[in-house]
Amino acid sequence: MSTTTTALAPRTPEIGSRLPKVGTTIFTVMSALAQEHGAVNLGQGFPDFDCAPRLVDCVTEAMRAGHNQYPPMAGVPALREAIAAKIERVYGRRYDANQEITVTAGATQAILTAILAVVRPGDEVIVLEPCYDSYEPNIELAGGKAVFVPLGRSGEPGDFRPDFARIAAAITPRTRAILVNTPHNPSATVWTREDMQALAELLRPTDIVVIADEVYEHMVYDGRVHESVARHPELAARSFIVSSFGKTYHVTGWKVGYVAAPAPLTAEFRKVHQFNVFTVNTPVQHGLARYMDDPSPYLGLSAFYQRKRDLFRAGLAQTRFRVLPSEGSYFQCVDYSAISDSSELEFCRWLTTEIGVAAIPLSVFYDGGREQRVVRFCFAKKDETLQEALQRLARL
């Protein structure tokens, strides 16, 4: 007696998506469209110029010195010491390098790790929108729920100041954390000392944790001061502070950042971090530690970018755009309602394909979208790139 087996075609199992709403990001879409049409790409937020040669030399020397194996999970001690010294120098608060500083694989990983460390299924996290696009998926991966509170007190386009009455109304017994981003992407708004004091007062009777996205900390303009939560003891005691070497030193592709937090929060953060990425590129850490001996690159960053901002704004003033405030970060938002009635996405596609300049619609930074006829440009570009973009925008 013989049996025959019928061969079945290979089959990939179906799985339910953890992130069913997530598709290709608008940044990838607009960058591809810009490349296809030869447009100047002022959409995605990264520089088109090189970092300091000395920084590359520092990393190269670290490689040649043999720093090419796993570093400690929390980060190279010399870099953690340099980070702690920088925070104390700039903001007046000393973090313990051993127990309160962790080097991360970029700021996005840091934010995800902080959320996974503190958010449990059913918890709520207050998200102030418009906001960076990783926040909501991060919360969903942790089993939490994002509670969106719009920025703006007047309701007018271009107003992105925090409305603490709305934030207070969003707090419930399930609120576990709040995400705060200043200088703000995408609006370029900078929180004031009064804003931070209001946040501290609001959170005082709660156990809500702050996740402070401060990746543009060294880009503030017109004499403003970056109000890091590190400056405010009440907030610092309940906060993860996230920053980015990629943004500060023009090396976004290196994907290295850090988190500063009180020891109990750091202990929980590192439990997730060690099974998330475990650790971060060794020679880059050694190179950054050496490069940070000189504080002038980050201390001079505001002046560096303010000049570019002013150049770009002066050119935009010659167009029909309404130029909105840019207090910090390397972004500039504009109101195009005098130019077109199109939706923000349609306008950005037209601007890219017909005018030759790529921008990002502000609506994509809102849950479910919100049309204000506002788009975002990035001015972290060479002067000649900005001048070329302005020449094309002059046609509007």
Task: Report pLDDT digits (tens) over 181-227.
Answer: 999 999 999 999 999 999 999 999 999 999 999 999 999 999 999 99
Average confidence (pLDDT) over 382-387:
98
Alpha helix segments (H runs only) across 97-134? 107-118
Based on the fold, state whether residues 309 and 253 are members of the same structural domain.
no
Identify whether 17 is part of a domain.
Answer: no
Average confidence (pLDDT) over 161-168:
97
Identify whether 3 is part of a domain.
Answer: no
- Mean model confidence pLDDT for the chain: 96
Based on the fold, state whether residues 228 and 104 are members of the same structural domain.
yes
Q: Any idea which of 32-36, 57-61, 91-95, 367-371 has the lowest mean pLDDT? A: 367-371
pLDDT value, residue 4: 61
Based on the fold, state whether residues 247 and 331 are members of the same structural domain.
no
pLDDT value, residue 8: 85
β-strand pairing of 239-244 with 209-213: parallel
Based on the fold, state whether residues 314 and 248 are members of the same structural domain.
no
Tell me which residue of 284, 290, 214 sits closest to 248, measured CA to CA: 214
Cβ 219 vs Cβ 248: under 8 Å? no
pLDDT value, residue 5: 64
Cβ 187 vs Cβ 333: under 8 Å? yes
d(Cα 344, Cα 56) in Å, to the nearest integer? 39
Task: Quote the DSSP letter at residue 175.
Answer: E
Based on the fold, state whether residues 146 and 91 are members of the same structural domain.
yes
pLDDT in tens, 7-23: 788 999 999 999 998 88
> Is pLDDT of 62 > 60?
yes
Based on the fold, state whether residues 168 and 188 are members of the same structural domain.
yes
Positive or negative: CA dihedral 148, 149, 150, 151: negative
Based on the fold, state whether residues 249 and 111 are members of the same structural domain.
yes
Which CATH number covers residue 212? 3.40.640.10
pLDDT value, residue 242: 98
Confidence of residue 298 (pLDDT cuts 50, 70, 90): very high
Domain span at 386: 26-45+299-393
Look at 282 and 370; give whichever has higher pLDDT: 282
Q: Any idea which of 21-25, 119-123, 323-327 has the lowest mean pLDDT? A: 21-25
Identify whether 134 is part of a domain.
Answer: yes
Based on the fold, state whether residues 186 and 332 are members of the same structural domain.
no
Identify whether 234 is part of a domain.
Answer: yes
Q: Which of residues 267, 294, 321 is at a domain's end? A: 294
> Is pLDDT of 2 > 60?
no
Task: Quote the DSSP letter at residue 252.
Answer: G
> Is pLDDT of 155 > 80?
no
Mapped onto helix, strand or coil, the DSSP state of residue 129 is strand
> Side-chain half-sphere of 370: how many Cα atoms within 13 Å?
14
Based on the fold, state whether residues 317 and 284 are members of the same structural domain.
no
CA distances to 75, 231, 233, 298, 396 from 261, in Å: 14, 13, 12, 21, 47
Confidence of residue 175 (pLDDT cuts 50, 70, 90): very high
Identify whether 20 is part of a domain.
Answer: no
Q: How many domains does the chain have?
A: 2
pTM across the whole model? 0.95
Alpha helix segments (H runs only) across the chain? 26-37, 53-64, 77-91, 107-118, 135-141, 164-170, 193-203, 233-236, 245-248, 263-276, 282-291, 296-299, 301-316, 344-350, 383-393
pLDDT value, residue 156: 79
Identify whether 12 is part of a domain.
Answer: no
Identify whether 150 is part of a domain.
Answer: yes
Confidence of residue 354 (pLDDT cuts 50, 70, 90): very high
Average confidence (pLDDT) over 13-36:
89
d(Cα 42, Cα 242) in Å, to the nearest integer? 25
Based on the fold, state whether residues 38 and 66 are members of the same structural domain.
no
Q: Which of residues 277, 294, 311 is at a domain's end? A: 294
Question: Which residues, at least 6 apart from 224, have a Cβ–Cβ distance to it below 8 Å?
Answer: 190, 327, 328
pLDDT value, residue 167: 98
d(Cα 254, Cα 362) in Å, to the nearest integer? 27
Q: Which of residues 294, 324, 345 is at a domain's end? A: 294
Based on the fold, state whether residues 125 and 254 are members of the same structural domain.
yes
Based on the fold, state whether residues 202 and 312 are members of the same structural domain.
no
d(Cα 104, Cα 256) in Å, to the nearest integer? 6
